[in-house]
Structure 1
Amino acid sequence: MPTRTARLTAAAAATALAGTALAMASPVSAAGRNGVCESGEFCYYFNSDNKGSVSDFTGSVADYGAKQPSCFDFKGAGAGKGDCVKNAAASVWNRSGKTVRVYFNSGYGGRYQDFKAGAKGNLNSGLKNQNASHQLLGSTPPTGCKTDGTHSRLPTTILVYRVSLKRVDRVAFKTYVKNVLPNEWVPSWPRESLRAGAVAVKNYGWYWALHSTRRTSWGECFDVYDTTSSQVYRPGSAKASTNAAVDATWSTRMTRGGKILQAQYCATTTACGAWVDGDWMSQYGSRDKANAGWTHSRILTAYYRGIVLGS
């Protein structure tokens, strides 16, 4: 897949809009990681006894990252705010509805401690300030290179090559989509444009989870890059408006001939040399059509020829 540097990103959009201040929404509830422990989340606290800053999650995470700005961090008020979660948590509150296992090592390895649904507690002496991953049990992510997704079922996770960090992260698929969309579509754009973008971003990742044979220089398999070589993925970047678009369209499946479409997109119809009518969507075009009153379904069927939108 060629690098698509002409595709719109948040930074490019800011430049294209000639310095106009964009109305970037605040992170939303659980999915936005807002530093508040809410229903459906698994939460770390910086201090023992559920005190200090909070870091909230909605799914399993195989590696929190060790450095800013790419790590998962403590977002709530209080001691530890802004610090990376890895090897820094002291207590938890499990509001996810499933048993959560906290691991000493990244990749769900090493010693561990389980917290049942609803449980609050301190990490034991073997895991306090020595935590590197956690997993919601009963929703075990696949291992190795093979996805558990099909053309009719979403993948549970996606393998993301973190190019600058020189590692591959296994990311919950919905978390991936929510942390791509605000970096590819401008979060202040109209709702139907964001919904069209949400379907395209999801379909693009879904396609590569099913088809990728990529490997890093050291031989590790992955599905997508975290750059414009695929889609720009930045952990913790989810926004309220883009999360809402993802949630509203999560059940939508875009297929052509019964197969998941590799939904490609670019800033405009002329910005990307690889543009093919019927296979690509214009990001600015989706904005303009939404402003003109088009629904996201109409936008998608106008750009992607011969598709079927279903569930």
Structure 2
Amino acid sequence: MALGGSVLATASPASAANRDGVCQSGEFCYYFNSNNQGSVSDFTGSVADYATQQPSCYDFKGPGNGKGKCIKNSAASVWNRSGKTVRVYFNSNYGGSIYQDFKPGAKGNLKAALKNQNASHRFLSSASPTACKTDGTHSRPPTTILVYRKSLDRVDRVAFKTYVKNVLPNEWLSYWPTESLRAGAIAVKNYGWYWALHSTRKTSDGRCFDVYDHTSSQVYKPGSATATTNAAVDATWGTRLTRNGKIFQAQYCATTTACGMWVNGDWMSQRGSRDKARAGWGHSRILKSYYNGIALTS
């Protein structure tokens, strides 16, 4: 089983001072046994790795079964007395697809896949869910989009048009023909628009976002906008690309070969758009040649 890395996260002074084996208000607590029985290990903050050997591991401190044992892969139940949702992970460093969330005040057993398989826990953001919602519709683009800056581990709320202008030059070369850039501008806008309307993405600590800033979504680099790509965005901003009246995920990649699934009518070749523009095609014709069943309206 993958149990994550071996980096030990140092507890904050507050966490270290209060770890006394008593589950108090403001703490998240593990119990050695099910049904909140046995020795307690209490925390006031997130821990990425519990370690597995004394004297460096986080251990059960309270009286009862399990006292003195390292808590990694040894907890059976929890009580969340903090004011935030706490997520328990199967892997260290907040990793893996198996996890369980405990809302403030929740008390209960770890699910079967996590019982005695706990490797890290994280206090999630208490931000209001309304901060995640877009104001866009299928007929009106959002005013902003939430971008996860992966290298910075930060979510930025970016003006939507600014976002599109700082994606296009990183996906289409700025010296390509005007009609290719215009086709790209519409595709980039549609992709971001679609995810602003449909995203359920969250970071591991609960921050919501719509798109990544890299190739998992579209490459966004603040300050990268150019005059030619900006002109393409401005010229097509009022154009709506829909299928059955709704914004769809207009995907694209470098070539038709690289796209793989491009033949299904949901992918556009970036270089193909360049070549068609060089052959005299307009952006509307280019888009309709790649995306099936679409309408371009103002």
The two structures have a TM-score, normalised by structure 2, of: 0.56
Aligned counterpart for 1:230 among listed residues 196, 203, 217: 217
Task: Tell me by how many angstroms 1:151 deviates.
Answer: 0.2
The structure having more radius of gyration, on CA atoms, is 2
1:218 maps to what in 2?
Answer: 205
Secondary structure at the aligned position of 2:257 is classed as coil
Would you say 1:172 and 2:159 are equivalent positions?
yes
Secondary structure at the aligned position of 1:294 is classed as coil
C-alpha change, 1:215 and 1:276, in structure 2 (3 Å) is farther
2:47 maps to what in 1?
Answer: none
Q: Structure 1 CA distance, aligned partners of 2:202 and 2:192?
A: 16
Aligned counterparts, 1:87-236, within 5 A:
144-236=131-223
Matching residue's letter, 1:236: G
2:268 maps to what in 1?
Answer: 281
Indicate conservation of the 8 Å contact 2:255/2:272, yes or no.
Answer: yes
1:267 maps to what in 2?
Answer: 254
Task: Tell me by how many angstroms 1:275 deviates.
Answer: 3.3
Would you say 1:306 and 2:282 are equivalent positions?
no
Q: Structure 2 CA distance, aligned partners of 1:211 and 1:276?
A: 24
Q: Structure 2 CA distance, aligned partners of 1:164 and 1:184?
A: 19
Secondary structure at the aligned position of 2:221 is classed as coil
Q: Structure 2 CA distance, aligned partners of 1:203 and 1:276?
A: 19
Q: Structure 1 CA distance, aligned partners of 2:267 and 2:259?
A: 10
Task: Tell me by how many angstroms 1:277 deviates.
Answer: 2.8
Q: Structure 2 CA distance, aligned partners of 1:287 and 1:206?
A: 23
Runs of at least 4 residues off by over 6 Å: none
Task: Tell me by how many angstroms 1:237 deviates.
Answer: 0.2
Q: Count residues in correspondence.
A: 170
More helix by share: 2
Task: Tell me by how many angstroms 1:261 deviates.
Answer: 1.6
The CA deviation string for residues 68-124 of structure 1, in whole angstroms up to 9 with x for no partner, is xxxxxxxxxxxxxxxxxxxxxxxxxxxxxxxxxxxxxxxxxxxxxxxxxxxxxxxxx
Matching residue's letter, 1:291: R
C-alpha RMSD of the superposition: 1.2
Task: Tell me by how many angstroms 1:273 deviates.
Answer: 3.5
Secondary structure at the aligned position of 1:144 is classed as helix
Secondary structure at the aligned position of 2:157 is classed as strand
The CA deviation string for residues 20-64 of structure 1, in whole angstroms up to 9 with x for no partner, is xxxxxxxxxxxxxxxxxxxxxxxxxxxxxxxxxxxxxxxxxxxxx
Aligned counterpart for 1:242 among listed residues 216, 220, 229: 229
Task: Tell me by how many angstroms 1:272 deviates.
Answer: 2.9
Task: Tell me by how many angstroms 1:229 deviates.
Answer: 0.2
Indicate conservation of the 8 Å contact 2:259/2:269, yes or no.
Answer: no
C-alpha change, 1:294 and 1:256, in structure 2 (3 Å) is same
Identity %: 82
